Structure 1
Amino acid sequence: MQYQAVVRKFGPAEEVVGIERAELPPLARDKVRVRLLARSINPSDIITISGAYAGRSTLPFIPGFEAFGVVEECGEEVCGPSPGLRVLPVRSAGGWQEFKDTDPNWCLRVPDALSDFEAATSYVNPMTAWLMLHQKIGLKSGMSIAINAAASSIGSILIGMANAVGVEPIAIVRSEASLARLRGRLEAVIIDKAENDLAAGLAGRHGLDAVLDCVGGPRASVLADALKPGGLFLHYGLLSGESIPPAFWASHPDIAFSYCHLREWVHSEAIDDVQRAYSEVAAQIAAGVIATEVREVFPLERVGEALRAALPFRTGGKVLLA
């Protein structure tokens, strides 16, 4: 028997995620069974539970895209992973349970240098940050970039990765409390509380190489105004709950716009390439270049309390199920 967090209807996560007990099925010959030890609660989980991606989620389902564990058992046809191997099973949800049966080819190897909690927060945000900075932007010393929601978990990772190559970003936050959580070397900090704060803070800055936006809404146009011709506007989240207005594209014909979704990249790449990227990220975590604050930890069977603690995501630090 095992505990599972199960979604049987789409809706607000605090209302529709239930905890159930279930029998472990026989292990398929070509799968590995991973005993999960720690799991993150991420915005992508909440969005999926809401039904926003209903076309690729079949009810009922077990949520959780980021979970760390050890291989417990291998099917008869499995070559490679062996019991005791520390892994992150990726490419599918199902992390909010005690055991996950999964494809051994999509278990990222986790180095011993990472703690269980570091491992459980080493995939979604760090890999997304790596993808944006190194694959999308081609970050190098001397570039000028701006990051909003800069005091968020992923914001601090972006700052750390940028600093590692000699780049000091412009950080945009919404409050003094967020300002107090900022870490790393920064070119400037803009506190964007009122309507015109962002425009005032960016005044005179019209040569940015890239903007990393996870907020959306009408402020996207203000950010784009600060890009140089051909500069990259990278959009990867919607914390404001407001879409970028349609007029954005017509008023900024000379910039390059791109979405960034880790899932699409992982599903299109060979596992060896994903593992190489993950190994780079894990090395930066082990070296203290980047880090994720863990705010609270709940046992899996108290997933409802954990969700209430995790939301809204503007509050600093990750909530884990462990």
Structure 2
Amino acid sequence: MQYQAVVRKFGPAAEAVEIERAALPVLRRDQVRVRLLARSINPSDIITISGAYAGRTTLPFIPGFEAFGVVEACGEDVYGLAPGTRVLPVRGAGGWQEYKHTDPSWCLRVPDGLSDFEAATSYVNPMTAWLMLHKKIGLRPGMRIAVNAAASSIGSILIGLANAVGVEPVAIVRSEESRARLSGSLEAVIVDRADSDLATGLAGRHGLDAVLDCVGGAHASILAAALKPGGHFVHYGLLSGQSIPPSFWSSHPDIAFSFFHLREWVHSEAMENVQRAYAEVAAQIAAKIIATEVREVFPLEKIRLALQSTLPFRTGGKVLLA
């Protein structure tokens, strides 16, 4: 038997997620059983539970896109992955349970140099940040970039990775409390509290090579106006809850706009490329260039308390299930 966090109807996470006990299914010949040890709670989990992706999510389901564990058993047809291997099973959700049966080719190998909690936070934010910087905008010394929501978990990772190649970003935050949480070398900090704050803060800072935006809304146009012609605008989240207005594209025809969603990249790439990218990210974590603060840890069976502590998402570290 095992504990599982199950969603049987879409809705607010703290109401929709139920903890249940269930028998372990029979392990198929082509699968591995991973004993999960630590799991992150991410915005992508909460959005899926809400029903925003109802068209590609079948009820009931077990949430959890980011979970670390150890291979406990292998089916008869599995080769190259032995019991005891530390892995991140990344194909879809299913991390909020004690055991996960999965395709071995979708298990990313986790190096021994990462702690369990580092491993449990090594995929969603670090991979997203590394891929946006190195695959989307081609980060290199001398670039000038802006990071929105810079005091968030992924914002701090973006700053650390940029600093590693000598780039000092413009950091955009929402409060003085968030400003106080910033670390790393920065070109400037803009506290965006009122309608005019962002435009005033960016005045004289035009000619940016790239903007990394996870907020959306009308301020996207202000950020885009600070880009040089051909500059990259990478949009990867919607913390404001407001879409980028339609006028954005007609007003900024000379920029290179793109969305980034980790799930789409992973599912479009060969797994050896995903593993190669993850190895790069894991090396950055082991070297302490990437670090994720953990705020609280709850046992899986206390999922309701964990969700109450997590929501609404704010700066100050991740909540884990372990």
1:96 aligns to 2:78 (yes or no): no
CA contact (8 A) 2:157 2:291 kept: yes
CA distance in 1, matches of 2:307, 2:183: 26
Q: Give the corresponding residue for 1:192.
A: 192
Hey, what's the Cα distance between the residues in 2 that align with 1:275 and 1:256?
28
Partner of 2:58: 58
Check conservation: 2:215, 2:237, Cα contact below 8 A.
yes
What are the Cα deviations for residues 235-259 of structure 1, in whole angstroms up to 9, with x where unaligned? 0000000000111111111111100
SS of the aligned residue for 2:82 comes to: coil
Q: Distance in 1 between matches of 2:202 and 2:237?
A: 21
Measure the CA separation in 1 of the matches of 2:226 and 2:207: 6
Equivalent residue for 1:22?
22
State the shift of 1:316 in Å.
Answer: 1.7
One-letter amino acid of the counterpart of residue 81, structure 2: P
In structure 2, C-alpha distance between the alignment counterparts of 1:108 and 1:168, rounded to whole Å: 31
Aligned amino acid, residue 110 of structure 1 = V
Paired amino acid for 1:223: L
Equivalent residue, structure 1, for 2:165: 165
Shift of 1:311: 1.1
1:171 Cα deviation from its structure 2 partner? 0.2
Between the aligned partners of 2:177 and 2:312, the Cα distance in structure 1 is: 15
Report what 1:68 is aligned to: 68
Alignment gaps of 5+ in structure 2: none
Three-state SS of the structure 2 residue aligned to 1:304 is helix
Q: Distance in 2 between matches of 1:186 and 1:273?
A: 31
CA deviations on 1:57-86 (whole Å, 9 max, x unpaired) are 100000000000000000011001111000
Query: What are the Cα deviations for residues 76-105 of structure 1, in whole angstroms up to 9, with x where unaligned?
Result: 110011110000001210000000000000
Q: Cα offset for 1:314? A: 2.2
User: Take 1:232 and 1:161, find their aligned partners in 2: how far apart are those partners?
Assistant: 17
CA distance in 2 between partners of 1:183 and 1:58 (Å): 41
Equivalence for 1:113: 113
Query: Take 2:74 and 2:88, find their aligned partners in 1: how far apart are those partners?
Result: 15
Opposite residue 87 of structure 1, the aligned amino acid is V
Structure 1 segments, 4+ long, off by >2 Å, are none
1:309 aligns to 2:309 (yes or no): yes
Q: 1:55, CA displacement in angstroms? A: 1.1
Residue number in structure 1 paired with 2:227: 227
**1:251-292, CA deviations, whole angstroms, 9 ceiling, x for partnerless residues?**
111111100000000001111111111011001101111100
Question: Partner residue of 2:237?
Answer: 237
**2 CA distance for matches of 1:278 and 1:49?**
26
* 2-structure distance, mates of 1:74, 1:263: 26
Which whole-Å CA distance do the structure 2 matches of 1:226 and 1:314 have between them? 27
User: Is the deviation greater in 269-278 or in 93-102?
Assistant: 269-278
Work out whether residues 7 and 63 of structure 2, in 8 Å CA contact, stay in contact via their aligned partners in 1.
Answer: yes
Structure 1 equivalent of residue 7 of structure 2: 7
Q: Please, what TM-score do these two structures have when normalized by structure 1?
A: 0.99
Task: Please give the per-residue CA displacement for 1:159-211, whole angstroms capped at 9, x wherever unaligned.
Answer: 00001111000000001110111011101000111110000000012200000
Contact 2:32 2:72 in 1 (8 A): yes
Structure 1 portions without partners, runs of 5+? none
> In the alignment, residue 89 of structure 2 is paired with which amino acid?
P
Q: Is 1:87 matched with 2:87? A: yes
Q: CA RMSD in A?
A: 0.6
1:30-56 deviation digits (Å, cap 9, x = unpaired): 000000000000000001101111111
Q: What is the 5 A alignment of 1:242-253?
A: 242-253=242-253
**Identity over aligned residues, as a percent?**
82
Secondary structure of the corresponding residue to residue 92 of structure 2 = coil
1:162 match: secondary structure: helix
Give the aligned partner of residue 139 of structure 1: 139
TM-score by length of 2: 0.99
SS of equivalent residue, structure 2 residue 35: strand
Distance 1:73 1:185 in 2: 45
Alignment deviations for residues 279-309 of structure 1 (CA, whole Å, 9 cap, x no partner) = 1100110111110000000000000110111
